[in-house]
Amino acid sequence: MKIILLGCPGAGKGTQAEGLVKKYGLTHLSTGDLFRAEIAKGSPLGQKVQDYMKRGTLVPDEVVVEVVAAKLDDISGGWLLDGFPRTLPQAQALDGYLKSNQVKIDAVLYLAMEEDTVVSRLSGRRSCAKCKAVYNVATKPPKTEGKCDGCGGDLMQREDDKEATIRKRMMVFNDLTQPLVTFYKTECPFHEVDGSGSPGEVGEKLFAILDKVQETQKA
Ligand code: AMP
């Protein structure tokens, strides 16, 4: 299956993507994770994108599109896009790429969220510097403050999860990414799910949608 996971920052795309790629055997392509890994390596791409990310603004379309197209070329089976596309030009570039490769999107999954819920969720988010496990000081605290339950690594707050940057990222989302909802409603099989429930509840709803997609494909 070829899946696009849409949602504002903090809607739970990363958490849900983990469950979905495992259950359906997909390759997870998260542009945010990819850029963070490049920054950690200090690569030329990392250096190019780090200032945009720190400020909570978007990396230029042409940079993102080139990186994603190269990654998609390397994937042989199904995939799930998380955090891409994020602007109309990115969606149009993806559309062109898919058409020229005769590939169709099986489902666009949109995790809908209210802005205030997002801000409290993101400002409490912490992730393990070593194994990347994600916690939340309000809703999923670690057993020992500041330490990962699994590997004991230090828990860090992402630079772009500070409140002012979160508000900025939400503005960027509303201006540039929200229009994709209208685009995909007419272009692809589109499913909206309330992202404010627990990860388990949201996951069950997404599984039900993709199980149906798979059944239809088998029929
Ligand atoms: P994320 O982890 O998806 O919230 O992405 C973190 C940051 O990476 C964003 O705030 C952007 O600066 C950058 N980024 C990730 N994906 C994209 C994209 N598709 N287009 C432009 N910038 C992106």
Q: What is the reported pLDDT for 54?
A: 87
Q: Which atom of ligand 1 is nearest to the CA of 84?
A: 19
Amino acid in the structure at residue 88:
L
- Write down the pLDDT at residue 209: 97
Q: What is the mean pLDDT of each run of 10 residues along the chain (219 residues)?
A: 94 93 96 93 94 90 94 93 96 95 95 89 90 88 96 91 87 93 92 92 97 89
Q: How far is the CA of 33 from the centre of ligand 1 (A)?
A: 9
Q: 170: which residues sit within 8 A by CB, 6+ positions away? A: 8, 9, 115, 118, 119
Q: Quick one: which of 39, 30, 35 has its CA closest to 12?
A: 30
Q: How far is the CA of 69 from the centre of ligand 1 (A)?
A: 16
**Buried (b) or exposed (e) across 131-169, using 16+ Cβ within 10 A?**
eebbbbeeebebeeeeebeeeebebeeeebbeeebbebb
**pLDDT score at 139:** 82
Query: Looking at the annotation, which residues are catalytic?
Result: 13, 86, 125, 158, 169
